[in-house]
Amino acid sequence: MKKQFISTLCLSISLLLFTQCEKPSEKNTNTPTTVAGTPQHSPENFAIVIHGGAGTITKSNMTDERRKAYQEKLQEALDTGYAILARGGNSLEAVQKTINIMEDSPLFNAGKGAVLNSLGKNELDASIMDGKTLNTGAVAGVSGIRNPINAARLVMDSTKHVMLGGKGAEDFARLHGLTFEDASYFITEDRMRQLKRAQDKEKGIETHSVSLNDRLDEGKFGTVGAVAIDKNGTIAAGTSTGGMTNKKYGRIGDTPIIGAGTYANNLTCGISCTGTGEYFIRTLAAHEASNLIQYKKLPLKDALDNVIKQIGDLGGSGGMIGLDKEANIAWSFNTEGMYRGFKKSDHTQSIEFYND
Amino acid sequence: MKKQFISTLCLSISLLLFTQCEKPSEKNTNTPTTVAGTPQHSPENFAIVIHGGAGTITKSNMTDERRKAYQEKLQEALDTGYAILARGGNSLEAVQKTINIMEDSPLFNAGKGAVLNSLGKNELDASIMDGKTLNTGAVAGVSGIRNPINAARLVMDSTKHVMLGGKGAEDFARLHGLTFEDASYFITEDRMRQLKRAQDKEKGIETHSVSLNDRLDEGKFGTVGAVAIDKNGTIAAGTSTGGMTNKKYGRIGDTPIIGAGTYANNLTCGISCTGTGEYFIRTLAAHEASNLIQYKKLPLKDALDNVIKQIGDLGGSGGMIGLDKEANIAWSFNTEGMYRGFKKSDHTQSIEFYND
């Protein structure tokens, strides 16, 4: 009896909170909203949302050529994942293959073109999570693996472990036949210049003649991530990154940390983050968003905004993308921009760069 | 007006839930309870709670001699932390120094006497968190550092990072003058036999003549951890471990993962975990408990029980210790035993091994 009363009260509060939190859509139909739709997942209701990093480029530095390059690559990534979902494939595969497209492109800070550590090497992190089983896999600080997200998937599928690090993780990936590449495959001239400038700055040397291209992505974050829900209602999320330019001492950021940079749970949502990873770890950003949905009954968008505010209050910056169990999509960021896009089975889609 | 109404409703629900969830204490005054005391932290209300691992020894294998050794070492650890708190020291220092006592003892799977990986080496993990600032530090897969929890503290205090891994973390610790020891300092005969048996078993070789001592701790987890609240009401939590015997490929468990094995937040509680780390990562055990307190208004004990049930449902085992902002202490585990103890400024204390 008491339980029934509590349930009724809880329901009332949830409804009230929901009513209060829900904001009218200020955008066209292509804009992600958090208006909860059908309470049950519809079999044809699938979607994918991606990001290519937050704060990587300022509006004033964007050229038409560069915009076109990002637009095309993000579209290719979205189309890849969407096609898998449309033919009834699972969300894990969609997330993985979508991230592969961005890992293979030098435009982003993941796989080819990832930033360099203080020794001029790539140290890559990635993680992936299955929202149905809560299975997950991650690799931290690996070099040479062409697609770190595939290594994360392999950890999830082929071990009883969640996270493998450094040389051990590389040995494991090699044993299982993952593709390796020489250092030269990963390293781009842009990233070498970026490292040199970071190291010069550390020594007190200021570089005056910096070209537009040189300034791009400087000290910023181009982590990539994807979240998808498939026709069966299973949510998956994944994230892949090269971390921070000039990073030292085996620094590990939020990307390979389940609950920080990546989280998926069919009960709530899937999340992928990008930004100053330390703040996303301290706030357990992805898990926090999921719990705000599960325990505080916040809509997805409000949950993401709440977490980004927590991160901002601590002094951090970055962004998050998410997708809930009704295939609603939302994102939130406190940087000038975040490369992002979504594509849904209701034929809405969008690719956006800035807060407009 | 609507907000006020919601607040009143929320308060009612919280009170109702609290009334419903609170259980009468079934134990004597030395037993940790979750009965919330003063709503404000009293300046003299300080406490420390520790664990030395869950499931490390079965009741049938416990000897008087062994019991005495653990009892004495746990008491020494508790007394060390308590003395720091009693003289007005901060909870971070209490946690760190308490863990040092257990790291320096070969009785536990941390520091000296930590389990060996598949190469016969120690790979140690540790993390620490400050509940006031949400600052945190962690090291993963380090060798040679005498007290990994000190390295975690150093990461927190001396870098803008949260987590350093492998050789990079060792270089960082060496640069800052932390004490290093040769491999021989860490490795005990018990651990070498344990590794051999694990490797024999992997090859299908069953060892028949196993002594009592040999069986102890086999395949089990002796992670150590501490949570404290100081006179200022600041909560800190820390955990240190050698991970799993015969671990391979740079496996990282929950201990260095903030929100999984360790979490502290002055708004809610401090938590340290031990067990099959992968399940504590997948459930974000420590952060989940904190959120159940913050968002579901569960008392500490119910929050821990809820998380241990989630872990059990996934197939995992282990335990958690916690302490909330009113200095209430609780623990929960689904193993036969967990080495644990607490000491409070109200002169209650206890050291317990099993579920009795």
Instruction: Supply the CATH number for residue B148's domain.
Output: 3.60.20.30
| Contact assignment for A140 to B136 by CB distance below 8 Å | no
Residue B220: the pLDDT is 56
Spatial separation of the C-alpha atoms in residues B311 and B319, rounded to whole Å: 10
Q: Domain for residue A296, yes or no? A: yes
* SS3 assignment for chain A: CHHHHHHHHHHHHHHHHHHHHCCCCCCCCCCCCCCCCCCCCCCCCCEEEEEEEECCCCHHHCCHHHHHHHHHHHHHHHHHHHHHHHCCCCHHHHHHHHHHHHHCCCCCCCCCCCCCCCCCCCCEEEEEEECCCCCEEEEEEECCECCHHHHHHHHHHHCCCCEEEHHHHHHHHHHCCCCECCHHHHCCHHHHHHHHHHHHHHCCCCCCCCCHHHHCCCCCCCCEEEEEECCCCCEEEEEEECCCCCCCCCEECCCCCECCCEEEECCCEEEEEEECHHHHHHCCHHHHHHHHHHHHCCCHHHHHHHHHHHHHHHCCCEEEEEEECCCCEEEEECCCEEEEEEEECCCCEEEEEECC
Residue B345: the pLDDT is 97
| Residue, of B17 and A108, whose pLDDT is higher | A108
Q: Which residues of B touch A295 (CB under 8 A)?
A: 291-292, 295-296
What share of chain B has pLDDT > 90, as a percent?
69
| Contact assignment for B251 to A161 by CB distance below 8 Å | yes
Q: Domain for residue A323, yes or no? A: yes
Look up residue A338 and give its two tokens. Answer: 């975040």
Mark which residues 94-153 of A lie under 8 Å from B by CB: 134-136, 140-141
Q: Domain for residue B255, yes or no? A: yes
| Residue, of A324 and B30, whose pLDDT is higher | A324
Which whole number is the average pLDDT over B168-190? 94
Tell whether the torsion through CA atoms of A183, A187, A193 and A197 is positive or negative.
Answer: negative
> CB-based contact (8 Å) between A12 and chain B?
yes
Q: Which residues of B touch A283 (CB under 8 A)?
A: 134
Residue B87 burial (CB count, 10 A): 8
Residue B50: the pLDDT is 98
- Which one of B12, B281, B292 has the shortest CB-CB distance to A9? B12
Q: Which residues of B touch A12 (CB under 8 A)?
A: 9
| Contact assignment for A260 to B260 by CB distance below 8 Å | no
Q: Looking at A14-18, A59-63, A111-115, B84-88, which range is the least confident one? A: A14-18
- Tens of pLDDT along A229-242? 999 999 999 999 99
Q: Looking at A192-201, B182-191, B198-207, B311-320, which range is the least confident one? A: B198-207
Q: Is the pLDDT of residue A22 over 50?
A: no
Q: Domain for residue A35, yes or no? A: no
Q: Domain for residue A306, yes or no? A: yes
Residue B209: pLDDT band by 50, 70, 90 thresholds? very low
Which whole number is the average pLDDT over B108-123? 90
Which whole number is the average pLDDT over A59-81? 92
Residues contacting residue A154 through CB under 8 Å, at least 6 positions apart: A137, A172, A173, A176, A178
Q: Domain for residue A144, yes or no? A: yes
| Contact assignment for A250 to B167 by CB distance below 8 Å | yes
**How large is the ipTM?**
0.85
Q: Is the pLDDT of residue B25 over 80?
A: no
Return the residue in A247, A252, A262, A267 with the most chain B beta carbons within 10 A, the one to mutate for interface testing: A252
Which whole number is the average pLDDT over B147-161? 96
| Contact assignment for A258 to B258 by CB distance below 8 Å | no
- Are A218 and A195 in contact by the 8 Å Cβ rule? The answer is no
- Which one of A12, A252, A284 has the shortest CB-CB distance to B287? A284
Residue A40: pLDDT band by 50, 70, 90 thresholds? low
Return the residue in A281, A292, A294, A302 with the most chain B beta carbons within 10 A, the one to mutate for interface testing: A281
Residue A220: the pLDDT is 56
Residue B61: pLDDT band by 50, 70, 90 thresholds? confident
Which whole number is the average pLDDT over A94-107? 97
Q: Is the pLDDT of residue B27 over 50?
A: no
**pTM tops 0.90:** no
| Contact assignment for B20 to A13 by CB distance below 8 Å | no
Residue B40: the pLDDT is 57
- Are B71 and B351 in contact by the 8 Å Cβ rule? The answer is yes
Residue A6: pLDDT band by 50, 70, 90 thresholds? very low
Q: Is the pLDDT of residue B190 over 60?
A: yes
Residue B29: the pLDDT is 34
Q: Domain for residue B16, yes or no? A: no
Residue B116: the pLDDT is 87
> CB-based contact (8 Å) between B250 and chain A?
yes
Tell whether the torsion through CA atoms of A248, A253, A257 and A262 is positive or negative.
Answer: negative
Spatial separation of the C-alpha atoms in residues A273 and B4, rounded to whole Å: 34
Q: Is the pLDDT of residue B218 over 60?
A: no
CA-nearest residue of chain A to B14? A6
Q: Looking at A114-118, A295-299, B49-53, B122-126, which range is the least confident one? A: A114-118
Return the residue in B119, B252, B295, B302 with the most chain A beta carbons within 10 A, the one to mutate for interface testing: B252
- Are B162 and B155 in contact by the 8 Å Cβ rule? The answer is yes
Q: Looking at A131-140, B166-175, B200-209, B244-253, which range is the least confident one? A: B200-209
- Tens of pLDDT along A132-174? 999 999 999 999 999 999 999 999 999 999 999 999 999 999 9
Mark which residues 260-279 of B lie under 8 Å from A by CB: 260, 263, 277-278
CA-nearest residue of chain A to B249? A168
Largest CA distance in chain B: 74
Q: Looking at A134-143, B22-31, B139-148, B287-296, which range is the least confident one? A: B22-31
Residue A12: the pLDDT is 42
Mark which residues 197-216 of A lie under 8 Å from B by CB: none
Q: Looking at A47-61, A206-220, B24-38, which range is the least confident one? A: B24-38
- Which one of A20, A134, A169 has the shortest CB-CB distance to B282? A134
Return the residue in A2, A163, A247 with the most chain B beta carbons within 10 A, the one to mutate for interface testing: A163
Q: Which residues of A touch B140 (CB under 8 A)?
A: 140, 165, 252
- Map residue B171 onto helix, strand or coil: helix
Which whole number is the average pLDDT over A41-51? 86
Q: Domain for residue B26, yes or no? A: no
Spatial separation of the C-alpha atoms in residues B243 and B260, rounded to whole Å: 14
Q: Which residues of A touch B135 (CB under 8 A)?
A: 282
- Map residue B185 onto helix, strand or coil: helix
Q: Is the pLDDT of residue A34 over 50?
A: no
Range of the domain at B81: 45-354
Q: How many domains does chain B fold into?
A: 1
Give the angle B253-B256-B259 at the CA atoms, nearest 5°: 95
What share of chain A has pLDDT > 90, as a percent?
69
Q: Is the pLDDT of residue A217 over 70?
A: no
**Residues of A acting as catalytic residues:** 223
Tell whether the torsion through CA atoms of B146, A139, B158 and B92 is positive or negative.
Answer: negative
| Residue, of A17 and B65, whose pLDDT is higher | B65
Residue A43: the pLDDT is 63
Residue B356: the pLDDT is 64
- Map residue B127 onto helix, strand or coil: strand
Q: Is the pLDDT of residue B135 over 90?
A: yes
Q: Is the pLDDT of residue B304 over 80?
A: yes
> CB-based contact (8 Å) between A315 and chain B?
no
Q: Is the pLDDT of residue B177 over 90?
A: yes
| Residue, of B62 and B343, whose pLDDT is higher | B343
